[in-house]
Amino acid sequence: AQKVTQAQTEISVVEKEDVTLDCVYETRDTTYYLFWYKQPPSGELVFLIRRNSFDEQNEISGRYSWNFQKSTSSFNFTITASQVVDSAVYFCALKTSYDKVIFGPGTSLSVIP
Amino acid sequence: SQTIHQWPATLVQPVGSPLSLECTVEGTSNPNLYWYRQAAGRGLQLLFYSVGIGQISSEVPQNLSASRPQDRQFILSSKKLLLSDSGFYLCAWSGLAGKTYNEQFFGPGTRLTVL
């Protein structure tokens, strides 16, 4: 069975702090894809990144970075020097051989000025 | 570039009334289309998905239905709304934008309140 766990329901940080959002996934498939989405208060889900199971290279995009570790089935997301605009719900998601994406429950991040 | 539209943005309907939510995608062809519902403060629930015109797969049995009359149009309907149908409805598509059918791109959503 496929599953995505985001153990952190809510996180609150002060602006400029670094914050890491955890994501643990379960699948028996050898080919799969992992995603992160951001849902700001407006509601629309914004696609942030896709990583496939054959590429364990970490990725950095500005203040965002992602750490993919197959050994621990984790795909964590770090925001460096957080800003108020980073306040949102963040979803980790998994897609395997079936054409459905399984979303985690989300982590609500509040960045306090 | 590809864009996805949903309307209406917000809707307040009485219990027992019908529902029709529309989603259209521009700038791509043969997309996979999806309807999700998000209850307040909760995660995403996949309701329906479609891989082509007239092809609908239902994930959750309920009083909702979906149709795909055209390649880039996806409609969510109900004959009689229930209180439990309240929520935030999101349409999504996946296709060849990124040379992959893997990531989904979401519309702005429709916030439905059933009273």
pLDDT tens per residue, range B6-28: 999 999 999 999 999 999 999 98
Tracing tokens 């949102």 back to the chain, one arrives at A88
pLDDT, tens digit, 9 for 90 and up, residues B52-102? 899 998 888 678 999 999 999 999 999 999 999 999 999 999 986 444 567
Residue from the list A35, A44, A104 with its beta carbon closest to the beta carbon of B108: A44
CA trace torsion A84, A89, A94, A99 (10° rounding):
-110
Residues of B in contact with A100 (CB under 8 A): 46, 49, 59
Contact assignment for A99 to B49 by CB distance below 8 Å: yes
- Name the residue of chain B whose CA is nearest to A98's CA: B102
Q: What is the mean pLDDT of residues A102-113?
A: 95
Tell me, what DSSP letter sits at residue B85?
Answer: G
| B8 Cβ contact partners less than 8 Å away, ≥ 6 residues apart | B21, B110
Structure confidence at residue A99 (pLDDT)? 62
Contact assignment for A44 to B49 by CB distance below 8 Å: no
Please indicate if any CB of chain B lies within 8 Å of the CB of A105: yes
Å from B99 to nearest chain A CA?
12
Q: What is the mean pLDDT of residues A73-100?
A: 92
Reading phi first (left if > 0) and then psi (alpha if -120 to 50, else beta), residue A71 is in alpha
Average pLDDT value over all residues in chain B: 90
Please indicate if any CB of chain A lies within 8 Å of the CB of B109: yes
Structure confidence at residue B105 (pLDDT)? 93
Structure confidence at residue B98 (pLDDT)? 45
Gap between the Cα atoms of B107 and B53, Å rounded: 19
Which of B104, B111, B112 to probe the A interface (max A CBs under 10 A)?
A: B104
pLDDT, tens digit, 9 for 90 and up, residues A40-86? 998 999 999 999 898 888 888 999 999 999 999 999 999 999 999 99
